[in-house]
Chain A
């Protein structure tokens, strides 16, 4: 436990303002570490890829040097000199900061009352103009909760539950307000197929066939809108159509600029997602995907990436045939896959991706691939791998620190670092 004592001692030196024991570290309480920090790990999982695409071996007795928020050196202690002026933090195991590839944290608050639930607008089935950025509560306690287990990045937004529920975005789990947290303001357009997005009697969509018909029609309308704009540009006599924010978003999906993230679980709904991708030629990311183990060839053929459901998702309803082995199967088949915490309507109000990846690992997904689901592979899928996901020179100084195998039930996360700042010093 020596490293732990050292770590705590270092924190005491470094974090005089964070004296509110047990309380969350408010952003204003997070000390800005000027200059260099050096994180020493008995094992450092850099999650870098070698030239042949395989995972780089973890570094034994490794050092990660971070200056002004960016990684400036990574390697074994024998080759990376720690400057005398660096603040040193020690841990048994160091990983890149964890990425939750699909969350609702920040929109779906922990109290589960109307005033903290902003993850789903129910006034209409298709509202792509909704922007998660406008709904994100940077001071939501669940952000601090997942951060204390090493989560530094959330791809968050509107929950499954409407045919098109809005646009997602990416934040770091820091910042007192959304502007301080945001990493990528627009990420995907969230779509739900299947029972979760069926509406009450008399309201559409009331069936799966209606869901597909409505989506097709809406994308056709978006095309027509685009053609009207083009026609007006070509002919000064013609008036352009009134601006339509929803259609503008759908056009970004049609152009391939923005992926359509389709939440689908059952075999029928996954087939519908695959069909829609073929019909529209758009970029589709399958989210959830309980029964996607039956469609691996199609996923590969149609280049569909998967944000797989949390491993411990309840085996009921649309997810009744979910398998704890799916992540491992997708990885083995070469399907690009990341893991998200998904959406929970009751308890736990959010899942912790660290634990979900741990169970995936215990159920057949090799360790590095399982860690990849919530680090490098997730960054790749979300298109943010130039910034985060692995510990390599030039990338953000985002790290999670553990006192043992991160996946073990009895291991603790002892610290979380974002942009070189210690944002959590809780031992959990």
Chain B
């Protein structure tokens, strides 16, 4: 599936576990229903299940409903709800409100979350979990490469991310290229294949952005650029070519004889030019940040500024540009010259200037298990608590163009959330559970899963799943 494939009827059947992801949770809690759950990929068998779902729909759907009661709900999109009820059905949030306002459907599984806090699942706009890479060392511009071809979704780093409350990551190639490749948006569903974690657009294509970088990381020996001006010139050249490629296609008006030869490099850049692929741009120094904005203005791509170490020096320019910033929080300045002036106050300064701010782990640079900490340190430096929580969730969704389906606790959105033991910004708070699309993907009370939250022997070993997302015994 993917690049050369459009949605077929059988695909819909094979995504049944995703259409009704609550099934796995129900089966865990209700052994009887587990017997009726599809256990093989047999199409015929799955077809029977579809029929079953259609005809016995009401019964099943009621059981597919889970109500979390008693928790403090922090929806991000609205005010905090004490003694809240969160109703999840078919992988989506059905309703949210106080215990007085929400009627829990009959037959719903009730989970007591009293004393706990439920927040939207954390979204990391810049992650390297699964170690998916992009281009090789043959050249600085390789938008034809795609991290989904190299990411290992069975890597322990994905388990750690789930243990950190993450539900969605932008899986990025590295910053050693001007354009290192296409990124992949991964929902951290349980799954042993990358296809099970992909987010598809309305046409069935895996969603992702385009990774770009400037500054010293992408300046290397030839054929890579040696200076900042050369870096910008090479990018400019690539986008000009893409414009010409796009124009040629337009002029061909569908005539195969006039169409240019298909070029995967150009296709990704055209998608960026057309606003279909968001550019995620690594940049640190104040002048490099402005260069990104200059190129954006020249070519009109949609850009998210990543890391932005010296954002505080050009905050007015960033605010005027309207570009959102995805920040990294590092425990000490430096490590390289262009990160010398990184400030923990970037969050508050940008927030006050009205810039849309998110955080990212850049995992393995910072640990996904401690993603909440990044925002907490921004709060320490003056950022508002509300802004910091938004920066871990809804703002991240916006920067991936996915705010319509995740990032906040709103009816109709994916049931992606984390259950915490306390204040999101306290060092003593633990992520107790993580849920993606109504399915529990992390449970701290299970010792095998807790291992990934705290570490220890075996925590560094990559794990195996069978086809349908249920955890196999650890190897």
Chain A residues with Cβ below 8 Å from B334 are: 109-112, 141-142, 347, 349
Chain A residues with Cβ below 8 Å from B377 are: 409
Interface window among A59-67, A155-163, A355-363, A388-396: A355-363
Which of A323, A346, A347, A348 sits near B455, CB closer than 8 Å? A323
Contact between B426 and A408, CB atoms less than 8 A apart: yes
Chain B residues with Cβ below 8 Å from A112 are: 334-337
Query: How many of B's residues come within 8 Å of A, CB to CB?
Result: 34
Which of B331, B376, B379, B455 sits near A321, CB closer than 8 Å? B455
CB of A203 closer than 8 Å to a CB of B: no
Query: Can you name the residue of chain A whose Cβ is closest to the Cβ of B339?
Result: A347
Which of A110, A294, A411 sits near B335, CB closer than 8 Å? A110
Interface window among A176-184, A227-235, A312-320: A312-320
Q: Mark B432-460, 1 if CB is under 8 A from A, else 0.
A: 00000000000000000000001111111
Which of A315, A359, A362 sits near B459, CB closer than 8 Å? A315
- B268-304 contacts to A, CB under 8 A, are none
Query: Can you name the residue of chain A whose Cβ is closest to the Cβ of B160?
Result: A315
Query: Can you name the residue of chain B whose Cβ is closest to the Cβ of A293?
Result: B456
B333 → chain A closest CB, angstroms: 6
Chain A residues with Cβ below 8 Å from B458 are: 321
Query: How many of A's residues come within 8 Å of B, CB to CB?
Result: 42
> Among the interface residues B364, B380, B455, B460, which one has the most CB atoms of the partner chain A within 10 A?
B455
Contact of A350 with B332 at beta-carbon distance under 8 Å, contacts A110-B340, A321-B460, A408-B427 already known:
yes
CB of B96 closer than 8 Å to a CB of A: no
A161 → chain B closest CB, angstroms: 17
In angstroms, Cα B393 to Cα A77, docked, is 46
Contact between B456 and A314, CB atoms less than 8 A apart: no
Chain A residues with Cβ below 8 Å from B337 are: 111-113
Query: Can you name the residue of chain A whose Cβ is closest to the Cβ of B332?
Result: A348
Which of B330, B364, B428 sits near A316, CB closer than 8 Å? B364
Chain A residues with Cβ below 8 Å from B461 are: 320
Contact between B455 and A351, CB atoms less than 8 A apart: no
Q: Mark B456-475, 1 if CB is under 8 A from A, else 0.
A: 11111100000000000000
B155 → chain A closest CB, angstroms: 11
Contact between B454 and A363, CB atoms less than 8 A apart: yes
B343 → chain A closest CB, angstroms: 10
A366 → chain B closest CB, angstroms: 12
Contact between B380 and A362, CB atoms less than 8 A apart: no
CB of B50 closer than 8 Å to a CB of A: no
A247 → chain B closest CB, angstroms: 37
CB of A79 closer than 8 Å to a CB of B: no
Contact between A347 and B427, CB atoms less than 8 A apart: no
Chain A residues with Cβ below 8 Å from B333 are: 110, 141, 145, 349
CB of B74 closer than 8 Å to a CB of A: no
Contact between A409 and B373, CB atoms less than 8 A apart: yes
Contact between A351 and B331, CB atoms less than 8 A apart: yes
Chain A residues with Cβ below 8 Å from B457 are: 291, 293-294, 321
Query: Can you name the residue of chain B whose Cβ is closest to the Cβ of A345?
Result: B335
Which of B335, B336, B460 sits near A315, CB closer than 8 Å? B460
Contact of A407 with B455 at beta-carbon distance under 8 Å, contacts A315-B160, A315-B460, A352-B332 already known:
no
CB of A325 closer than 8 Å to a CB of B: yes
Contact of A321 with B456 at beta-carbon distance under 8 Å, contacts A112-B334, A348-B335, A349-B332 already known:
yes
A285 → chain B closest CB, angstroms: 22
Contact between B380 and A409, CB atoms less than 8 A apart: yes
Contact of A312 with B367 at beta-carbon distance under 8 Å, contacts A111-B334, A409-B376, A410-B380 already known:
yes
Chain B residues with Cβ below 8 Å from A346 are: 335-336, 365
CB of A101 closer than 8 Å to a CB of B: no
Query: Can you name the residue of chain A whose Cβ is closest to the Cβ of B372?
Result: A409
Query: Can you name the residue of chain B whose Cβ is closest to the Cβ of A310?
Result: B331
Contact of A111 with B336 at beta-carbon distance under 8 Å, contacts A314-B367, A410-B425 already known:
yes
In angstroms, Cα B427 to Cα A312, docked, is 13
CB of A322 closer than 8 Å to a CB of B: yes
Contact between B455 and A410, CB atoms less than 8 A apart: no
- B370-392 contacts to A, CB under 8 A, are 370, 373, 376-377, 379-380
Chain A residues with Cβ below 8 Å from B335 are: 110, 112, 344, 346-349
Contact of A320 with B427 at beta-carbon distance under 8 Å, contacts A112-B335, A347-B339, A348-B330 already known:
no
Which of B340, B376, B455, B460 sits near A324, CB closer than 8 Å? B455
Contacts A145-B332, A409-B426 aside, 15 further interface pairs with beta carbons under 8 A come to A110-B333, A110-B340, A293-B456, A294-B457, A315-B367, A320-B460, A323-B459, A344-B335, A346-B336, A347-B330, A348-B332, A349-B332, A349-B333, A350-B332, A361-B427
30 A-B pairs within 8 Å (CB atoms) are namely A111-B334, A111-B340, A141-B334, A145-B332, A293-B457, A312-B331, A315-B156, A316-B364, A321-B455, A321-B456, A321-B460, A322-B455, A323-B459, A325-B454, A325-B455, A349-B334, A349-B335, A350-B332, A351-B331, A358-B427, A359-B427, A361-B427, A407-B427, A409-B373, A409-B380, A409-B425, A410-B379, A410-B380, A410-B425, A412-B380
Chain B residues close to A by CB (< 8 Å): 156, 160, 330-337, 339-340, 364-365, 367, 370, 373, 376-377, 379-380, 425-428, 430, 454-461
Chain A residues close to B by CB (< 8 Å): 109-113, 141-142, 145-146, 291, 293-294, 312, 314-316, 320-325, 344, 346-352, 355, 358-359, 361-363, 407-412
